[in-house]
Amino acid sequence: MPSRESVAVVILWTSLLVAIPNAWAQNGLPVYQVVQSGATAAQAQSLASTLGIPVESLSLSNGEAFYLDPSNFMWVPAVQVTDATIISNLTAGSKNDYPNIPLRFEQPDFNALGKWPIVNSNTALTTISSAFDKANLLPQFGAQVISHTMLNAYYSNEANVVMSNSAFLDTSVKYQFTTPGTVAPGYPIIGPGAQVQVTYGTNGGITRLHYAARSYSQGKMVAVISPGLASERVAHLFPGLNAQITPQLVYYAPPLSLGTVSNLIPWYACTGTGTVTNPITKKVSTINLTAPLIPATDDGAYVPSATLVANVVGGTQVVATVRATGGMAPYAYLWGGSSPSISSNTGSQISYLSEVRIQRPTLGVTQVSSQALMVSWVDPTAGFGLESSSSIAKPDWLPVTNPVQTANGVSSVLIGLNLAQPMSFRLRYLSQTVAETVMVTVTDANGVQAQASQSLQVQPMFQMPGTSVKGQISPKIAGIVDWGTESPYDPGLGNNDRVGWTSGMTAFGGGVQRFLWTGNLSWRWDFIEEPTGIDDSQVDNADIVFYVGHGNPEVITFTGTGNLYYPDAPHAWGNRDQEWMCFLSCDVLQFSDSAGNVWSRWGPNFDGLHVLTGFSSLAYAGTGFPGSFALNMLGFFVLPPHSIVNAWFSAANAHGTGTPAAMGPIGPGGVWDYGDYYWGKGPVGPTIRASQIRGWWYLN
């Protein structure tokens, strides 16, 4: 079991950023000039040699050094399951989208779990510091902290004897970066360009190394905008959440892959809280908001500005141009709108057709009294109007003018009951124009961003679930590896993350893109079983689904519909095609909550789902994590594919996104899917149906 001292160290690491005071530097803050970016080849080789890392396995790109031992990183002792009956029963309910690699049947070794020595914290701190010093790579402005990844698991065997254990799987040395200052500890330096981490496995060797840091000298001072102004600038990113924003001054370090960075400027990390109300229980709960970053200065020498001009041509086509000035050229452009395909356009001009997703509503008629009917339907687009007719043979359809009530995405009308004549109802699409927001993010050579957006009224193009229009959802083809995306705050907060994920999956062989729903086109019903939802043709029609949005331990949120609470999708995930669900959202996989532990909250939604990944903490937006997760999972260049859990944890740590977490079921014979790879990248475990679940595992 973990020691009391180790637990205290973990708590220190998770709370360090929160403890830093958020002072507004009214007299300005310094710009830091880049002296060196990352490691040289000689420095990387020295570091590898000192730490016992095979030099040929160390990746070095733009000064960023990375190594991972896929066999031992977060390794858990396991034994093969050989019971023929158990294997036969599980195989009968499983599919294998890549038959060249047989399904793997293994169980965690509860007896061996935790009986190994983990590397002593003091030994790890001293050894790593010495190795960095020897390679002349001691991280500037960095302070060491220790953390551990912990596995919790329990399983009720065939004799109904409960076996459980928990153990640390590693010892990690991580560096927290802060600027020097007269009031210690200064301002945090965060982001993918300020990540230095070394992990020791239970084998006593280095299982992961990531070095992405720069050296700096202090430059000129820049004026800093007020926290209140920063709050105003990001408020539009949190629609419907009653956001209370708390900007915190930080320095954001872009990834080393952006090789043109010459300085760091102060930014605001806009953390905060929002509230959502469960429409059934009326319970109001707080959400820690996914934190966006904005420049903390308006100094045109360091911060670009974007001027957007957008128009509608022919009522349907959006045409937009952006002009960037300030900061440091050259500029990169990322576009956002109702048509996700526009994000592939990297130029300063865009032209596209606005899209609206239409799900044909189903009418429900209920007699609520002897004198009244309630007619209801689900219409997230609010584009349908109710009509009635008193004749069935020759209907004369007339609009129903009674008030329409809307609650949690359900529209309803109360109508007087007339028994003297027939009453027929239908919904007609009103063909009205809709509001379309076109947005562009301009990024300069230093990784500093400026955003501009404009709202227009357009006549949209319909997107009908079940069709293959513009690469959206298409009929399932057996044996095809596929993936889907839900990004309800896009364009806006989720735009960068969604593009990173879809680009990585597309470029490195993720298979068929089954669906891509953004903004108001992303619906809670995509996650809910029929007949209430449309899970079978959406989320459960793809092997892996990536969600980008806000949440807390009990809910994930949407803009086009009501929110998805943990009891809303019983036995919905995995009974058709899905194996893996991924939530980029704050706190969703926090272990304990007033509603219960993570297994009792999200576990009842499993019916074949192998693994659910997420975060147990605040999660930052726009760090580059989703693209890195996709590349880790699929493998790229000299780096082999990671298991899905390893890919998630490694990417989250590499980009400073938050504290990653994962969970999954344990089935008959103790079988689990902890070690799953993506289809074709390594072995995958069997499907464990809801009726076969005998326990759970949780990693954090």
Q: Length of the chain, please? A: 700
Domain count, the chain: 3
Which domain-ending residue is among 162, 186, 218?
218
CA distance 248 to 185: 14
Q: Are residues 562 and 638 both part of a single domain?
A: yes
Which domain-ending residue is among 188, 218, 248?
218
608-620 b/e (C-beta count within 10 Å ≥ 16 → b): bbbbbbbbbbbbb
Q: Are residues 14 and 87 both part of a single domain?
A: no
**534 found inside a domain:** yes
pLDDT of residue 23: 58
pLDDT of residue 698: 98
CB 192 within 8 A of CB 623: yes
Q: Are residues 494 and 536 both part of a single domain?
A: yes
Q: Are residues 95 and 148 both part of a single domain?
A: no
CA distance 438 to 559: 16
**40 found inside a domain:** yes
CB 431 within 8 A of CB 396: no
Which tokens sit at 261?
Answer: 């960075």
> Other C-beta atoms within 10 Å of 683: how many?
16
Query: Which domain, by its residues, includes 680?
Result: 78-108+465-700
- The backbone torsions φ and ψ at residue 496, rounded to the nearest 5 degrees and listed phi first, read -60, -45
Q: Are residues 395 and 495 both part of a single domain?
A: no
Q: What value, to the nearest 5°, has the Cα angle with vertex 301 and ends 297 and 303? A: 45
Token pair 């999200």: residue: 602
Token pair 């074949």: residue: 608
CA distance 350 to 599: 46
CA distance 516 to 508: 18
**286 found inside a domain:** no
pLDDT of residue 469: 31
**516 found inside a domain:** yes
**535 found inside a domain:** yes
In the chain, DSSP finds a helix count (H) and a strand count (E) of 9, 45
Q: Characterize the bridge pairing of strands 482-487 and 544-548.
A: parallel
Radius of gyration of the chain (CA): 27
**336 found inside a domain:** no
pLDDT of residue 104: 97
Q: Give SS3 for 454.
A: strand
CA distance 293 to 251: 10
**160 found inside a domain:** yes
pLDDT of residue 471: 37
CA distance 367 to 416: 10
CATH number of the domain bearing residue 695: 3.40.50
Using alpha carbons, list the distances in angstroms from residue 498 to 53, 210, 334, 616: 34, 24, 11, 20
CA distance 410 to 230: 36
pLDDT of residue 652: 96
CA distance 418 to 370: 10
Burial (CB < 10 A; 0-12, 13-18, 19+), residue 604, is middle
Secondary-structure breakdown of the chain: helix, strand, coil percentages, each rounded to the nearest 5: 20, 35, 45
Which tokens sit at 150?
Answer: 């912990």
Q: Are residues 192 and 49 both part of a single domain?
A: yes
CA distance 178 to 186: 6
Q: Is the peptide bond before 185 cis (omega within 30 degrees of 0)?
A: yes
CB 38 within 8 A of CB 212: yes
Please list, in sequence order, all residues whose beta carbon lies within 8 angstroms of the beta carbon of residue 161, skipping any fewer than 6 positions away: none
Which domain-ending residue is among 403, 429, 455?
429
Q: Are residues 517 and 405 both part of a single domain?
A: no
Q: Are residues 515 and 655 both part of a single domain?
A: yes
Q: Are residues 95 and 198 both part of a single domain?
A: no
Q: Are residues 693 and 568 both part of a single domain?
A: yes
Q: Are residues 97 and 137 both part of a single domain?
A: no
Q: How far apart are the first and last CA of the chain?
A: 15
Blockwise average pLDDT, block size 10, the chain, 700 residues: 30 31 71 97 96 93 94 94 96 94 96 89 96 97 96 93 94 96 77 97 94 96 96 90 93 96 96 91 91 94 97 92 97 90 90 81 85 84 82 84 81 86 82 84 96 89 45 51 94 89 93 91 92 90 96 94 94 95 97 94 98 96 94 88 97 95 97 98 97 97
Q: Are residues 67 and 195 both part of a single domain?
A: yes
**251 found inside a domain:** no
CA distance 213 to 143: 13
> Other C-beta atoms within 10 Å of 309: how many?
11
